[in-house]
Amino acid sequence: MATFGRAVGVTPRPGFWGYLWSWLTTVDHKRIGIMYGATTLAYLLIGGLEALLIRLQLAHAESRLLDPDTYNQVFTMHGLTMIFLVVMGFNSTLFNLVVPLQIGARDVAYPRLNAFSYWMFLFGSILLNLGWLWGQAPDVGWFGYAPLTGVKANPGLGPDFYVMGLQALGVSSVAAGLNFVATIINLRAPGMSLFKMPVFSWMALLTSFLMIFALPVLAIGLIEVMFDRLFGTNFFNPEAGANPLLWQHLFWIFGHPEVYILVLPAMGVISEVLPVFSRKPLFGYPFVVLSGVFIAFLSYGVWAHHMFAVGLGPLANTVFGITTMLIGIPTGVKIFNWLATLWRGELKFKTPMLFALAFIAVFTVGGISGVMHATVPSDYQQTDTYFIVAHFHYVVAGIVFAVFAGVYYWWPKYTGRLLDEGLGKLHFWLFFLGFNLTFGPMHLLGLWGMPRRQYTYPAGLGWDFLNAFQSAAAFLMALGTLVFVINAVKSLRSGAPAGDDPWDGRTLEWAIPSPPPAYNFAEIPVVRYRDELWARKYGPHGERAHAPGTSRRPLSGHNPGGGDGRASDNPGHTDGHGAHIHLPNPSYYPLIVAFGIALGMFGAVMLRPVEVGGLGPLGWALVGLGTLITVYGSYGWSFEPAG
């Protein structure tokens, strides 16, 4: 306890360990964003390999490549990985990398809480995947329907890793959501009213609200499953009179807002990329923003469209069918505003633009099939078939196009180097073709009756050719991703220097050096216009045809305090007027607290009996140890000077 209140690592330590330590204790949103990005990329490759395994298994009828148990684990983990670790991880990456720069802030409101969110994300993702070591990864689908998660139906450790892994990831998301709402509401640059805020930051705000209000519902559902499994409660036990449908309600009250947690940031990326590469302001900014708000609200009123076939009755089905179709309106408003942004623009088809346009196309296809099964009788035909698989891949896997649009767009800001355009276009076309050839035919297979989640199918039903075709096409996507990895490595080694503003950007992040200095802005800008940087370059009404020469723009003062601006986590830079810029101290407490919580949660998994691979009552020792570490870390955190 004597160490409480002592600042750590203020003097940089030399060598590799010092460098590693500086990352482990960092509270800089930029470094945290980079760690999120690296983790997300790793899981994109893992989730992609799982997808390839699924496609190999389904390439021909009666395949025995994977046994049914393994297949269940692989498709479950593919879904969980892609949703919770890849798309949500990527959202956190961009929130960290982009939001503080766009709103003209030096960091997020709570830098240590931000570091905690990352460590909790990392440990949660490990916990979710840890079941592989026991050969018992979660095998209940990403939705984990009760009573399949009950201890009778599923005595193994799979559901326990599911429950605890998602719970840990939920802690991370709620913490991140709280932090980013607080940041966006409270730390905008002077003059940046909400309706002068860039659309990506708007969507980050809405997503953060959805996270803090949706994940608690999942958390309670998971707690109920955990109690059923560990302590013999009856939440989902039909023998005691319980109704397992309760889980479906709780899960989808979380699960549908979750869909918008995934897609709203993607819509934000698109709303940034299209105006820049059309050299026009976003068409109908207030409509795009308010459509996002409307979508976020409505997302809480549509959950039962995942449950049309469980027998809620015609009244409930009709109401939820109508609310679901209503969501098509604000979504359509956004799509038409994006198209109007392109109209008569000076279009430049750089890689980010290609990915952005592809997102609009595939998302429209996914949106239309969504309206199709919002129609209840139509859904009766389509539910649990590959038609649904096609639909949600066009929506959720379609988000990956926005992911890549964002990566190609903001990469130069953080590396100072451009990605290769040729390789970028190759990546795009491989991925775009592979995507449509893989998921497009699934619509047909679904309408022909091929059920989802089955590990194989008999020959002679007319499904053989398309399945083989899709499996081959899936490798085009894998190849595209490989091209991206090569492009990334090449850019880091020898990419062309990007400069501060390679795309002739409109928003504040392009006004500062690439990569940004630790303090982001030497002077906090005063904002007067929606496209502030554009207005500074070309005048508020575009009256100047050319940006004012090569002279430094007002915000980009390099290293005003002297020294290397990238030696981040070092307090004591000075701004242009010689005043001190205080940066938060690095701290290892977020790492300790996250580790303690994750260890306690792992202990809860290990409470399961020895016969199935747990430790039995010995698990309490791990729970206790985790709790002690958490308490120690929390007190250290509370009494440490924040900087």
Structural contact between residues 591 and 640, judged by C-beta atoms closer than 8 angstroms: no
Q: Is 220 in the site for other proteins (CB under 8 A)?
A: yes
| Residue 179 or 481 having the CB closest to other proteins | 179
Q: Is 10 in the site for other proteins (CB under 8 A)?
A: no
Q: How far apart are CA 22 and CA 397, in angstroms?
A: 35
Sole binder of other proteins in the list 32, 219, 333, 476 (CB under 8 A): 219
Tell me the residue ranges of DSSP E strands in 498-631. Answer: 573-574, 580-581
| Residue 205 or 358 having the CB closest to other proteins | 205
Sole binder of other proteins in the list 24, 52, 59, 246 (CB under 8 A): 246
| Residue 61 or 212 having the CB closest to other proteins | 212
Q: How far apart are CA 585 and CA 599, in angstroms?
A: 26
Distance (Å) of CA 603 to CA 126, 172, 323, 394, 618: 14, 19, 42, 38, 9
Q: Which stretch binds other proteins (CB under 8 A): 159-167, 182-190, 387-395, 460-468?
A: 182-190
Q: Tell me how far, at minimum, the Cβ of 231 lies from other proteins, in Å.
A: 6
Structural contact between residues 421 and 474, judged by C-beta atoms closer than 8 angstroms: no
Sole binder of other proteins in the list 118, 162, 235, 439 (CB under 8 A): 235
**553 φ, ψ (degrees, to nearest 5):** -75, 160
Q: How far apart are CA 56 and CA 101, in angstroms?
A: 43
Sole binder of other proteins in the list 23, 143, 227, 297 (CB under 8 A): 227
Q: Tell me how far, at minimum, the Cβ of 204 lies from other proteins, in Å.
A: 15
Sole binder of other proteins in the list 18, 135, 216, 616 (CB under 8 A): 216
Residue 494, CB half-sphere, CA atoms under 13 Å: how many? Answer: 2
What is the chain's Cα-based Rg? 25
Q: Which stretch binds other proteins (CB under 8 A): 62-70, 84-92, 186-194, 270-278?
A: 186-194
Q: Is 522 in the site for other proteins (CB under 8 A)?
A: no
Sole binder of other proteins in the list 46, 53, 137, 217 (CB under 8 A): 217
Q: % helix / strand / coil in the chain, to the nearest 5? A: 65, 0, 30
Sole binder of other proteins in the list 212, 290, 466, 625 (CB under 8 A): 212
Q: Is 240 in the site for other proteins (CB under 8 A)?
A: yes
Q: Is 224 in the site for other proteins (CB under 8 A)?
A: yes
Structural contact between residues 506 and 69, judged by C-beta atoms closer than 8 angstroms: no
> What SS3 class is residue 581?
strand
| Residue 250 or 263 having the CB closest to other proteins | 250
Sole binder of other proteins in the list 131, 584, 603, 633 (CB under 8 A): 584
Q: Which stretch binds other proteins (CB under 8 A): 243-251, 260-268, 364-372, 615-623?
A: 243-251
Q: Which stretch binds other proteins (CB under 8 A): 176-184, 429-437, 489-497, 621-629?
A: 176-184
Q: Is 304 in the site for other proteins (CB under 8 A)?
A: no
Q: Is 643 in the site for other proteins (CB under 8 A)?
A: yes
Q: At what angle do helices 399-415 and 245-278 cross, to 10 degrees?
A: 50
Q: Is 3 in the site for other proteins (CB under 8 A)?
A: no
Q: How far apart are CA 248 and CA 261, in angstroms?
A: 19
The sign of the CA dihedral 158, 163, 166, 172 is negative
Q: Is 243 in the site for other proteins (CB under 8 A)?
A: yes
Sole binder of other proteins in the list 14, 190, 460, 549 (CB under 8 A): 190
Q: Is 206 in the site for other proteins (CB under 8 A)?
A: no
Query: In 595-607, which positions are buried (b, 16+ CB within 10 angstroms) versus exposed (e)?
Result: bbbbbbbbbbbbb
Q: How far apart are CA 512 and CA 615, in angstroms?
A: 54
Beta bridge partners of 83: none
Q: How many Cβ atoms are within 10 Å of 443's Cβ, its own excluded? A: 20
Tell me the residue ranges of DSSP E strands in 500-640. Answer: 573-574, 580-581
| Secondary structure letter of residue 523 according to DSSP | S
Q: Which stretch binds other proteins (CB under 8 A): 11-19, 218-226, 453-461, 593-601?
A: 218-226
Q: How far apart are CA 68 and CA 456, in angstroms?
A: 8
Q: Is 185 in the site for other proteins (CB under 8 A)?
A: yes
- For 228, counting Cβ atoms within 10 Å of its Cβ (0-12 exposed, 13-18 middle, 19+ buried), the class is buried
Structural contact between residues 323 and 295, judged by C-beta atoms closer than 8 angstroms: no
Structural contact between residues 560 and 576, judged by C-beta atoms closer than 8 angstroms: yes
Give the type of residue at 437: L
Hey, which residues are catalytic here? Answer: 78, 107, 142, 172-173, 256, 258, 260, 271, 305-306, 331, 334, 452
| Residue 462 or 641 having the CB closest to other proteins | 641
| Residue 398 or 584 having the CB closest to other proteins | 584
| Residue 180 or 435 having the CB closest to other proteins | 180
Tell me whether the omega of the peptide bond preceding residue 147 falls within 30 degrees of 0, making it cis: yes
Q: Can you count the helices (H) and strands (E) in the chain?
A: 19, 2
The residue among 133, 145, 138, 186 whose CA lies nearest residue 160 is 138
Q: Number of residues in contact with other proteins, rule: CB under 8 A?
A: 49
Q: Tell me how far, at minimum, the Cβ of 304 lies from other proteins, in Å.
A: 14
Q: How many Cβ atoms are within 10 Å of 564's Cβ, its own excluded? A: 10
Q: Which stretch binds other proteins (CB under 8 A): 48-56, 87-95, 220-228, 552-560?
A: 220-228
| Residue 153 or 220 having the CB closest to other proteins | 220
- Over the window 74 to 113, marking each residue x when it contacts other proteins by CB under 8 A and - when it does not, the resulting string is -----------------------------------xxxx-
Sole binder of other proteins in the list 3, 186, 454, 559 (CB under 8 A): 186
Q: Tell me how far, at minimum, the Cβ of 177 lies from other proteins, in Å.
A: 8
* Interacting residues with other proteins (CB under 8 A): 5, 109-112, 174, 177-179, 181-182, 185-188, 190, 192, 212-214, 216-217, 219-221, 223-224, 227, 231-235, 240-243, 246, 250, 253, 582, 584, 635, 638-643
